[in-house]
Structure 1
Amino acid sequence: MAYDVSASAAPPLVSVLIPAFNHERFVRRCLDSVLEDPYPAKELIIIDDGSTDRTGALIADWVATHCMDIPIEYVQRGNRGIAATLNELAARANGEFLRPGASDDYLLPGGLDAQVRYLQEHPGKGAVIGDSIVVDQDDRKLHDSGMCDLHGADKSLYCSDDGIRRAVIRQWAVGGPVALIRKSALDTVDRWSEGLRIEDWDLFLRLAARDALGFIDVGVCAYRMHDANLSRTRHLETRLGNLAESRHIALRRAGLFDEPYRTLLRAQAHYIDAKIAFLQRRPGPLLAHVAAYLSLVLAARTRPPPPTPHAGLP
């Protein structure tokens, strides 16, 4: 899909941000996809976050080959973690819009165009998410929709601000890096919270609290499932750590929301506690948290959403 320059004589610059770490098998496909997307006004910023395999060398070779094809900035440094790396990438970006990626996933052609158009048509939105396809380590397609096939999402919820708030709070169904973010939005809601492993949910809760998050039903990236990310989801201590962090985020961000969403976030904290108790095989706390969760969900249903929507970003 070619960008229609008649709709905008000077298409806005998109900064594609790639935090790379130990993805020597996949990083070339990720970088190639940035060139393959036909959107004309883009730059590529890459940080190798302390890789211990050949990721850094492969990126350097790719940059040397393609440095005349697209503006590129490449940084190699020690490991600081995903949130710190995303914040540094955003600080280095020149674009009006930021497209965070991942070095094991890749962009789908046309996704940038569709997301830019959405944000141009919705100036009150700070970010827009799309869907993903799901592929394996050999690029074989596993699913047509990361949202529906991996997470069982109801996409109809994402068609309204109320629905997006409820979806982000109760079932964050984003598979892969599928967001385009207005750079000015990060000045309003802060950037990625460093030290967190669930940094994306935290950011999008803050955006949803301002009605600043939109959705398009377009596949904008390929989310890759492979041995490394599957092993993280199966490891008990990792799962417990992620759940504990999610509970902390839910309680920390509840104050940003009006009712009934504040109560829904408190309910979600109990739901997460129930998952923790289940994994730890503690039936008493499990039943107590399930009861608290159901009670709060019922209470939230008696509190209608505010009649006047938030104005979004200035």
Structure 2
Amino acid sequence: MASDVSKGTAPPLVSVLIPAFNHERFVRRCLDSVLEDPYPAKELIIIDDGSTDRTGARIADWVATHCMDIPIEYVQRENRGVAATLNELAARANGEFLRPGASDDYLLPGGLEAQVRYLQAHPGKGAVIGDSIVVDRDGKKLHDSGMCDLHGADKKLYRSDDGIRRAVIRQWAIGGPVALIRNSALDTVDRWSEGLRIEDWDLFLRLAARDALGFIDVSVCAYRMHDTNLSRTRHAETRVGNLIESRHIALRRASLFDEPYRTLLRAQSHYIDAKISFLQRRPGPLLLHVAAYLSLVVASKTRLPPAPRGVEGI
């Protein structure tokens, strides 16, 4: 059993949220990992989002076996999509902190306590992200760092609010469900935007715009790579659809940021458009979007942020 994260007080409740969909092969490992993490104050809330395989039956069997080991709420219903399911899970949660998971991934022991400690030490932060290891469909480790090995991220960027903003805008490098979110923070950023497939980037852009996102260099989950990962699909039409949605998110959220981040998000929208043009084999628009992207990146370097409060600009 882990020690209390706050000296002299009971540890705060963490609600582990699992949206499950068609992961009959992986879901038991996901649920077992919640029990294996030694953090003592947690509840588990699961929604089977209209699975068409045996995911629901396997969850029901697991719940029947472990219902005395941890507080569990389990709901089966028709498919509504991941964002709507996350919002329903959050609405059912009792915890001070929310730990969204995924039914094909699994938690790593110690991650919950490390993230709770961070948020307790940084009351101005609404969420904290960690790193992940990467495993294959059989659980064999492929990479030590989802951020570095899958996405080529520079973790040094995540040491400051400015760096986090730039990293979230220009290179979304989150491999797997690695966030712990303060429940109250969702009241200020309107939770997950329903109807989106890239709902995580949208949420973290909104958190980063408020300097409400922190980072710890700890692997808090195992991100499983397999044939049906949305973010790893090779189907060109699906990739184009995901990119179009990402461009919409970039343009929609630019107004939340001051300069130079607003210009960087506009640049990112052109970078996404360049990817779309490449997939659609349209060299003319590709070159135009690359030129616009480079021009805006250069322009962002001249658009300085406002002086901090209490300090007069020169």
Q: Pairwise mapping of residues 7-156 of structure 1 onto structure 2 (< 5 A)?
A: 7-156=7-156
How many Å separate the matches in 1 of 2:231 and 2:118? Answer: 36
The code of the aligned residue for 1:186 comes to L
The alpha-carbon deviation at position 309 of structure 1 amounts to 7.2
Contact 2:227 2:233 in 1 (8 A): no
The code of the aligned residue for 1:117 comes to R
Contact 1:108 1:222 in 2 (8 A): yes
The answer for the alignment partner of 2:233 in structure 1 is 233
Contact 1:46 1:89 in 2 (8 A): yes
Contact 1:254 1:262 in 2 (8 A): yes
How many Å separate the matches in 2 of 1:154 and 1:7? Answer: 34
How many Å separate the matches in 2 of 1:86 and 1:61? Answer: 22
Contact 1:267 1:293 in 2 (8 A): yes
The alpha-carbon deviation at position 236 of structure 1 amounts to 0.6
5+ residue gaps, structure 1, are: none
How many Å separate the matches in 2 of 1:165 and 1:6? Answer: 29
| Secondary structure of the structure 2 residue equivalent to 1:251 | helix
The alpha-carbon deviation at position 88 of structure 1 amounts to 0.2
Residues 125 and 71 of structure 1: is their aligned pair in 2 closer, same or farther, counting only changes over 3 Å? same
Identity over aligned residues, as a percent? Answer: 89
The code of the aligned residue for 2:39 comes to Y
Count the aligned residue pairs.
310
Contact 1:16 1:98 in 2 (8 A): yes
| Secondary structure of the structure 1 residue equivalent to 2:228 | helix
Contact 2:14 2:42 in 1 (8 A): yes
Q: Deviations over 1:46-76 (max 9, x none)?
A: 0000001110000000000000000000000
| Secondary structure of the structure 2 residue equivalent to 1:53 | coil
The alpha-carbon deviation at position 232 of structure 1 amounts to 5.6
The alpha-carbon deviation at position 2 of structure 1 amounts to 2.1
The code of the aligned residue for 2:61 comes to D
Q: Deviations over 1:166-195 (max 9, x none)?
A: 000000000000000000000011110000
How many Å separate the matches in 1 of 2:5 and 2:165? Answer: 34
The code of the aligned residue for 1:236 comes to A
How many Å separate the matches in 2 of 1:65 and 1:148? Answer: 38
Contact 1:3 1:38 in 2 (8 A): no
The answer for the alignment partner of 1:168 in structure 2 is 168
How many Å separate the matches in 2 of 1:309 and 1:18? Answer: 40
How many Å separate the matches in 2 of 1:43 and 1:230? Answer: 27
Residues 285 and 17 of structure 1: is their aligned pair in 2 closer, same or farther, counting only changes over 3 Å? same
Contact 1:84 1:192 in 2 (8 A): yes
TM-score, length-normalised on structure 2?
0.97
The code of the aligned residue for 1:151 comes to H
Contact 2:5 2:113 in 1 (8 A): no
Q: Deviations over 1:199-225 (max 9, x none)?
A: 000000000000000000000000000
- Aligned-residue Cα RMSD (Å) equals 1.4
Contact 2:143 2:149 in 1 (8 A): yes
The list of structure 1 runs, each at least 4 consecutive aligned residues, that deviate by more than 4 angstroms after superposition, is none
The alpha-carbon deviation at position 233 of structure 1 amounts to 1.4
How many Å separate the matches in 2 of 1:153 and 1:237? Answer: 26
The answer for the alignment partner of 1:252 in structure 2 is 252
The alpha-carbon deviation at position 9 of structure 1 amounts to 1.6
| Secondary structure of the structure 2 residue equivalent to 1:15 | strand
The code of the aligned residue for 1:48 comes to D
The code of the aligned residue for 1:211 comes to D
The code of the aligned residue for 1:212 comes to A
Contact 1:232 1:238 in 2 (8 A): no
The answer for the alignment partner of 2:296 in structure 1 is 296
How many Å separate the matches in 2 of 1:3 and 1:62? Answer: 27
Contact 1:128 1:181 in 2 (8 A): yes
Residues 123 and 15 of structure 1: is their aligned pair in 2 closer, same or farther, counting only changes over 3 Å? same
| Secondary structure of the structure 2 residue equivalent to 1:228 | coil
The alpha-carbon deviation at position 303 of structure 1 amounts to 1.8
How many Å separate the matches in 2 of 1:81 and 1:104? Answer: 16
The answer for the alignment partner of 1:185 in structure 2 is 185
How many Å separate the matches in 2 of 1:243 and 1:52? Answer: 27
